[in-house]
Amino acid sequence: MLPSIWTIVGQAGTFLVFIWAVMTFVWPPLTKAMEERRQKIAEGLAHSEQAEQALDRAQAEAEDILREARRKAGDIIEQATSRSTQIVEEARASAVAERDRQVAAAEAEIRLATNQAREALRERLAELAVAGAGRVIEKEIDAKAHRELLDKLAAQL
Amino acid sequence: MASGIEQSEASVEAGASVGQAALGNSADASAELTGFAGWWAQTKDRASFVWNEQAEAGDFVRHHITNLRPAGADPMDPFVWHYDTMVVSWVLGTVFVVALAIAARKVTAGEPGKWQNFVEMLVDFVDNTVKESFHGPRNFVGPLALTIFGVVFLWNLMDLVPVDYVPTVMYIVGFDYFRIVPSADINATFGLSITVLGLMLLYGVKGHGLLGYGKELFTHPFGANPLLWIPNFMLNVVEMISKTVSLAMRLFGNLYAAELIFILIALLPWWIQFIPGGAWAIFHILVVPLQAFLFMSLTIVYLALAYEKH
């Protein structure tokens, strides 16, 4: 450990030069970049928080919409069910009415036919009776005179 | 004006003994040779000396703790250079500044590369340390602290280079002495601490104004009574001197002692050296950044004390 003034002075000068170099070329760009990155990260964090909140809101909204849609769908299904029941009921009612109508018409037709047949039968019977009686009695009976009697007879059949 | 006899005594005192024998030989062998041939003859002599001869322990230690001074300079003559200290500290400082400047030149606020990341970590660490103690503009104090930390760290790191390599190689190629740990040269540590003293005064003036700082020196710490002006001032002067000296001596003492212990370990038989050498090196890994950090943080604190109003 010998003394060396020049080394002391030289070291001080060297030191100052290096401080100057660090101050000029190293420190400002690095601290600037670090500050910029810090801001970027802060912005990024803020954005992500905002995005998270937006996502929460959107999810809540979506849930609301979904719930509403489910409710509406339920309503629609219910309406449809009742409507279909109603339609079925109506159809059944109209079918019953149609059936009754057709049955009634058929009955009426049958009755008409029966009556006609009976009428015809009656007339034929009267004729037959008259013819029979005429054959039995032969000319004794005037067809005209017994007509009334024969009609009464036929009506009782 | 030193006579020839005094000079040769001086160089023996300075610990030239290891080199002396070889120097004597080479002086004989290369007396008639000059230039490259002379240098080559001397180098061969010295290499064979290092290879064949066993230096005495005292000579070995003295050789390894002697700085490279001008040939024949009086050991107590302060007006000389320590070439080794200057060269090594210039090289290390340049490496430090260039390495950081590379990171700074390509710096981006986006995703940092590995080296940029490391440098940013360093800058951030230094900046935070400064921020904690120094509450003023950091555009000078920050770089100052970073430079101190980096430069002192690299200086100290040189202590981990095997203690024999560089002095021996440099001896063989013609430099009688070569120490590569600038912080184990008291002149280097004083160079730093005296710069810090100058900065302390500058920051005192910057913080208080020229008159304000003068007033501060005369009225603190005891009070503004005129009777106390002289004691105040003397105390402040002593404080500054002690700060400067302790800053320099702490770093120097630690590294000088560490270097000495490495040299002593190197005197042990080669097959045992790795045990104490390894242990001391591992411990030294702690000392290297610790001393650099201490020098840096004390500098910041001193500047803050000078700068801030009490």
Residues in A whose CB is inside 8 Å of some CB of B read: 1-12, 14-19, 21-23, 25-34, 36-37, 40
Model confidence pLDDT, tens digit, residues A7-45: 889 889 989 999 999 999 989 999 898 899 889 999 999
Supply the DSSP string of chain B, one letter for each residue. ---HHHHHHHHHHTT-HHHHHHHHHHHHHTSS--HHHHHHHHHHHHHHHHHH----HHHHHHHHT-----TT--TT--SS--HHHHHHHHHHHHHHHHHHHHHHHT--SSS--HHHHHHHHHHHHHHHHHHHH--S--TTHHHHHHHHHHHHHHHHHGGGS-TTHHHHHHHHTT-S-----GGGSHHHHHHHHHHHHHHHHHHHHHHH-HHHHHHHHHHTTT-S-GGGHHHHHHHHHHHHHHHHHHHHHHHHHHHHHHHHHHHHHHTS-TTTTHHHHHHHHHHHHHHHHHHHHHHHHHHHHHHHHHHS--
The single-letter code of the amino acid at B140 is F
Read off the pLDDT of residues B178-232 as tens digits, 9 standing for 90 and up: 999 999 999 999 999 999 999 999 999 999 999 999 988 898 888 888 888 999 9
Residue among B111, B281, B307 at smallest CA distance from B206 = B307
State the Cα–Cα distance between residues A154 and A151, nearest whole angstrom.
5
- The alpha carbon of residue B213 is apart from the nearest alpha carbon of chain A, in Å, by 23
pLDDT in tens, B119-178: 999 999 999 999 999 998 888 999 999 999 999 999 999 999 988 889 889 988 888 899
Please spell the DSSP secondary structure of A8-30, one letter per residue.
Answer: HHHHHHHHHHHHHHIIIIIHHHH
DSSP one-letter string for A31-68: HHHHHHHHHHHHHHHHHHHHHHHHHHHHHHHHHHHHHH
Instruction: Determine which of A111-120, A136-145, B146-155, B193-202 has the lowest per-residue pLDDT on average.
Output: A136-145
Q: Give, rounded to a whole angstrom, the gap between the first and last alpha carbons of chain A.
A: 166
Asked if omega into A29 is within 30° of 0 (cis), the reply is: no
Q: Quick check: B67 and A2 CB within 8 A?
A: yes
Other C-beta atoms within 10 Å of B297: how many? 18
The pLDDT value given to residue B23: 44
- Pair of tokens at residue B201: 């005064």
Mean pLDDT of A100-123: 91
Mean pLDDT, all residues of chain A: 88
Handedness of CA B77, B80, B84, B89 (dihedral sign): positive
Sign of CA dihedral B154, B160, B164, B166: negative
- What is the rounded CA–CA span in Å between residue B125 and residue B123? 5
In the prediction, which pLDDT does B54 show?
A: 79
Phi, psi of B37 (to 5 degrees): -60, -45
Q: Which residue of A has its CA nearest to B256?
A: A1
Residues of A in contact with B96 (CB under 8 A): 18
Mean residue pLDDT across chain B:
85
Shortest CB distance from A6 goes to which of B79, B105, B147?
A: B79
The residue to which tokens 């200290």 are assigned: B85
Q: What is the pLDDT of residue B10?
A: 37
Using DSSP, state whether A127 is helix, strand or coil: helix
- Four-residue CA torsion sign, B201, B207, B213, B219: negative
Q: Report whether B254 contacts B291 (CB < 8 A).
A: yes
The H or E element containing residue A155 is: helix A147-156
Facing B142 at nearest CB: one of A9, A21, A27: A27
Is the pLDDT assigned to residue A135 strictly greater than 50? Answer: yes
Per-residue model confidence (pLDDT) at position A129? 82
Residues of chain A neighbouring B200 (CB-CB closer than 8 A):
none
Q: What is the C-alpha to C-alpha distance for residues A155 and B35, in angstroms, rounded to an integer?
A: 175
**Rounded CA gap, B7 and B72, in Å?**
5
Q: How many cross-chain Cβ pairs, A to B, lie less than 8 Å apart? A: 144
Amino acid type, B2: A
Which among B124, B150, B194 has the least Cβ separation from residue A34? B124
Q: Are B183 and B252 in contact (CB under 8 A)?
A: yes
**Cβ contact, residue pair B107, A27, below 8 Å:** no
Segment among A142-146, B142-146, B280-284 with least mean pLDDT: A142-146
Beta strands in A35-156 (DSSP E): none
- Rounded to two decimals, the pTM is 0.73
Comparing alpha-carbon positions, the chain A residue that sits nearest to B108 is A33
pLDDT computed for residue B110 by the predictor: 82
Task: Encode B119-158 in three state secondary structure.
Answer: HHHHHHHHHHHHHHHCCCCCCCHHHHHHHHHHHHHHHHHH
Query: What are the pLDDT digits (tens) for B20-67?
Result: 444 444 444 445 677 888 889 889 888 888 888 877 888 888 888 888
CA distance B68 to B177: 5
pLDDT of A137 > 70? The answer is yes
Please state the φ and ψ torsions of residue B309, each to the nearest 5 degrees.
-80, 145
Alpha carbons B147 and B295: distance in angstroms, whole number = 11
- Mean per-residue pLDDT for A110-127? 88
Please tell me if residue B231 touches chain A, with a CB cutoff of 8 Å.
no
Contact across the interface for A11 and B151, Cβ inside 8 Å: no
Q: Which residues of B are catalytic?
A: 246, 250, 254
Look at residue A51 and tell me whether its pLDDT is greater than 50. Answer: yes
The answer on pLDDT for B241 being more than 90 is: yes
- At residue B4, the pLDDT reads 35
Residues of B numbered 246-285 whose beta carbons fall under 8 angstroms of chain A's beta carbons: which are they? 252, 256
